[in-house]
Structure 1
Amino acid sequence: MFVLSERAQDFIVRSKAFIQQEIEPVETQFWHDVHHLNVDGDWTKWSWPAQLEQLKAKAKAAGLWNMFLPDPVLGAGLSVQEYAHIAELTGRSLIAPTVFNCNAPDSGNMEVLWRYGTDAQKQQWLMPLLEGKIRSVFGMTEPEVASSDATNMQATAVVEGDEIVLNGRKWWSSGLGDPNAKIIIFMAHTPDPSKDRHHQHSMVLVPVDSEGVTIERMLPVFGDYDAPHGHGQMNFDNVRVPVSNFIGGAGQGFEIAQGRLGPGRIHHCMRCIGAAEKALELMIDRGMSRHAFGKEILKLGGNLERVADARVAIDQARLLTLYAAYKMDTVGNMAALTEISAIKVVAPNVLQQVVDMAIQIHGGAGVSRDTPLTAFFNQARSLRLADGPDEVHKSMIAKLELKKRGYGRKKPSEQ
Structure 2
Amino acid sequence: MPTNNSENSYLEYTECLNIISSILSTYSATHRIIIAGDFNGTLKPPRNYNKHDRLLQAFVQEMNLKQTCTDKSTFFHHSGLSCSQTDYILDNTTSTIISNYKTHDRCQSNTSSHVPVSAKIEVKANVKQKIVKPNFASQFKLQWNDLDSESFNALINEELTQYKIESHSLEENIQSLCNCLKKAAAVAVPSKFIKLKGPIFKAPPTTLSLLQICKEKCHFWKSHGKLDDHSKTDKILAQRNLRKQMRREQYIDRAQFYKEVMDNPSNEMFHRLIRRNRGNRNKDSKCIMENGELHYSATDQTQSFSKYFEDLALPKDKGYDPEFLDLCNVRHKIIQQLCEQENITTEFSTQNICDAIKQLHSGKATDELGLAADHFKNSPAIVTQFLTDCFNNIMKDKLIPHIFKSGIVIPVLKKGKIQ
TM-score bracket, normalised by the shorter chain, equals under 0.3
> Which of the two has greater helix per residue?
1
> Which of the two has greater strand per residue?
1
Structure whose CA Rg is larger:
2
Identify which of structures 1 and 2 has the higher relative contact order when contacts are C-alpha pairs closer than 8 Å and 6+ apart.
Answer: 1
